[in-house]
Structure 1
Amino acid sequence: MTAAVNAADIINQNAPYQPTPNIAPAPLTFKGYANVLDGRTLYFPSSNATVRLAHIDACELPQWALNPKWTNRSVVKAPQPVPCGALAKAWLKRTIGKQQVSCRIAGYDQQAVTTAYCYAGKQDVALEMLRVGWARVVEPISAPQLYVSYQDAAMSKRYGMWETYVLDMNEWRQRAIDKSLERQPYADFNILADRKSEISPPFQDARQKPKRTDR
């Protein structure tokens, strides 16, 4: 018996170390009442889980867009601000209402946050955000074709943020210094004036507009 025990000890010493996991693997689904953190992110208090809607992006909460209907420019120094981040969050809250949300995990984003397809009842909430124009598709090639179709329709009808001058969300995250909720609209006006990328149709309209409009 002693020899058998010693032999087992030798085998265990040579075997690769395999620690016992302390955390159970993530469930395939989340279900329950969810708090809306922003236009693409949900928090499930019952499981202490943060989930982002797969394949879409939305304005960050402190982010501002600008109304392209800028008239009387000699008096008004900047276009009217549009709180696209707050409006995206408000629409997601409206979509969910008091319903329970069920989410099917799709993967993880670059910040290691869980991404998922989420439904309020039978409604795909990401698809609804795209339908009303308060979200965009992140990568059209890998996203469901229906997502791309809904985005294209919202853009053509100028719904939501597609009616505004809005900075690409990734560029906003990289360039915005103040990301507090007290951020003032003029800060985004300055970034938009020196933007590197464009995502909304009004930018194209401005480029195609003739220099003289009084003829």
Structure 2
Amino acid sequence: MSPPKLVVAALTGLAVLSGRASFAQTPNAASGIYSPKAAVQSPPLRVEVIDGTRFRDIETHAVYRLYGIDTCAPDQTAHLGRQPWPCGTMATAWLVTATLNVWLACRTLRDDDGERLVRCASAGHPDIAADMVREGIAVARPPSPDDPGIRVYALAEQDARKAYRGLWSSTFQMPWDWRAGSDGKRRAAASGEATP
């Protein structure tokens, strides 16, 4: 069996087994047995990248977002010394490279505003988000009451920081802070107010 067919077979097997496990964990009202609801495993999918954390299934057009991380916005820049570089473009390019012509297996953790928050793997990346953080392309999102942090991502970020990889070699604004400031400037511009 050729390597691509082997990967597809392995991912399909994973999806089938996961589907059986989810079915087995479904509460049976007649028997009165409770078991916790498991995260939903998607069948293997091919995707079209939207930005550094989001992509769309090319068959169903469902939108997925990588859970627990954030990347620079598409038009955000970082500065290495005095030289600006497009960190948002780099994050998108990294995700395109990691997913182009590759089957993904994603586990949906929950739906959020029409997007599925997921953790995904491929043959080359056992956890795509963790690899992005490890390479300094993404940052771990801070924990919140609704979304506890993922320890593996926090440790990967510490390693990337210590090694000055990717974003950590440069001056940049955290993506969530940059978006908040950018949204404020856009609202002010739309209402005709002057911005500093």
TM-score by length of 2: 0.66
Q: Deviations over 1:85-128 (max 9, x none)?
A: 0001111122223211111001244x452110011126211111
The percentage of counterpart residues that share the same residue type is: 26
- Once the two structures are superposed, residues 166-210 of structure 1 have per-residue CA deviations (whole angstroms, 9 ceiling, x without a partner) of 1111121121146xxxxxxxxxxxx9xx9xxxxxxxxxxxxxxxx
Work out whether 1:160 is the aligned partner of 2:166: yes
Q: Aligned runs of 1:1-215 on 2, under 5 Å?
A: 28-67=41-80, 69=81, 79-109=82-112, 111-121=113-123, 123-140=126-143, 142-176=148-182, 177=185
Q: In the aligned structure 1, how far is the partner of 2:122 from the partner of 2:49? A: 12
Aligned-partner Cα distance in 2 for 1:118–1:160: 21
The one-letter code sitting in structure 2 at the alignment partner of 1:175 is G
Task: Flag the structure with higher helix content.
Answer: 2
Q: For residues 135-192 of structure 1, give each alpha carbon's deviation from its aligned partner in whole angstroms, at most 9, with x where no partner exists.
A: 01112572332111111100111111111111111121121146xxxxxxxxxxxx9x
**Contact preservation (8 Å) 2:55, 2:65:** yes
Q: TM-score, normalising length from structure 1? A: 0.61
8 Å CA contact 2:134–2:157 kept in 1: the answer is yes
Distance 1:30 1:63, change over 3 A: farther
Cα RMSD for the two superposed structures: 2.5
Gaps of 5+ in 2: 1-39, 187-194
Give the Cα separation in 2 of the matches to 1:173 and 1:49. Answer: 24
Write the distance in 1 (CA, Å) between the matches of 2:105 and 2:83. Answer: 38
In structure 2, the CA distance between the partners of 1:80 and 1:116, relative to structure 1 (3 Å rule), is same
Whether the 8 Å contact between 2:62 and 2:115 is mirrored in structure 1 is: no
- Tell me the CA shift for residue 31 of structure 1: 2.7
Question: Which structure has the greater CA radius of gyration?
Answer: 1
Unaligned runs of 5+ in 1: 1-26, 70-78, 179-190, 195-215
**In 2, distance between residues paired with 1:147 and 1:173?**
21
Amino acid at match of 2:152: L
Number of equivalent positions: 145
* Amino acid corresponding to residue 36 of structure 1 in structure 2: V
